[in-house]
Amino acid sequence: GITRSKFGTSDKHLIKGEEKKTICIEGNIASGKTTCLDYFAQTTSIEVLTEPVSKWRNVRGHNILGLMYQDASRWGITLQTYIQLTMLEQHTRPMISSVRMMERSIHSAKYIFVENLYRSGKMPEVDYIVLTQWFDWIKNNTDVSVDLIVYLQTSPKVCYERLKRRCREEEKIIPLEYLEAIHQLYEEWLIKQTLFKVSCPVLVIGADHDMQKMIEKYEENRDQILNPYN
């Protein structure tokens, strides 16, 4: 039979001995992650965790996402420390369904956004080192593992147009160059795989298309996404 320890919340991947899967949807800002999550939330009985952006916009009344966009050098460490915490909460929350789908991950927060702040000279080396030590401790001592990454690959220009259209207040000052830098890091991480070790399969979906076409693509790739090892 199944031993009691396998039911423990410390091992979120084993409930009643059944395999649990975590899928992360990754991609640039405005790449269409929300549309993807909405599609799967409506058509399957999987558990969907959206990015905790609302938390970053209101930390007891402080909008640290907005502050970071206004002055990244000053507020980068504050935002990234908090994002790392909220992502850790998401990853370690006990699973209630056999498949969990997440918007982004603790991994992209570190490998893409922290990396970009550091490389662009907006984060001091010591802040980067402290965040990295926290991140490494988390990876080694908790379960933040991922079974499949779905990479919504876009061109930065398309994201830029979508960003302007959706008019999220904090994002009005994002220049095209920022989206290009984020894009380059995503490509290095998930396509060239030269940035950091990728320890799970990556499914790449071209995401420059309109919403209707994207939904068709999710339908086509549905089985592959939900059963990556079949």
Residues known to be catalytic: 103
Q: How far is CA 1 from CA 5, 9, 16, 17, 20, in A?
A: 12, 18, 10, 9, 19
Query: Contact 106/144 with Cβ under 8 angstroms?
Result: yes
Q: Select 164 or 227, whichever has its Cβ closest to ligand DGT.
A: 164
79 binds ligand DGT (CB under 6 A): yes
Amino acid at 71: D
Residue type, 151: Y
Task: Return the amino acid letter for 58.
Answer: N
Among 9, 10, 34, 43, binds ligand DGT (CB under 6 A): 34
Structure tokens at 50: 């959206």
Comparing CB distances to ligand DGT, the nearer of 24 and 68 is 68
Minimum distance between the CB of residue 34 and ligand DGT, rounded to whole angstroms? 3
Q: Is 171 in the site for ligand DGT (CB under 6 A)?
A: yes
Please identify, among the stretches 6-14, 79-87, 126-134, 137-145, the one whose residues bind ligand DGT according to the rule CB under 6 A: 79-87
Q: Is 115 in the site for ligand DGT (CB under 6 A)?
A: no
User: Of all helices (H) and strands (E), which one includes residue 101?
Assistant: strand 99-103
Q: Residue 102 interacts with ligand DGT (CB under 6 A)?
A: no
Measured CA to CA, the distance from residue 195 to residue 211 in angstroms comes to: 30
Instruction: Select from 9-17, 31-39, 128-136, 187-195 the region that touches ligand DGT (CB under 6 A).
Output: 31-39
Which residue number, 68 or 99, has a Cβ lying nearer to ligand DGT? 68
- Over its C-alpha atoms, the chain yields an Rg (Å, rounded) of 18
- d(CA 164, CA 30) in angstroms, rounded, equals 10
CB atoms within 10 A of CB 198: 15
Contact residues toward ligand DGT (CB under 6 A) are 27, 29-34, 51, 53, 65, 68, 79-80, 83, 104, 109, 113, 171
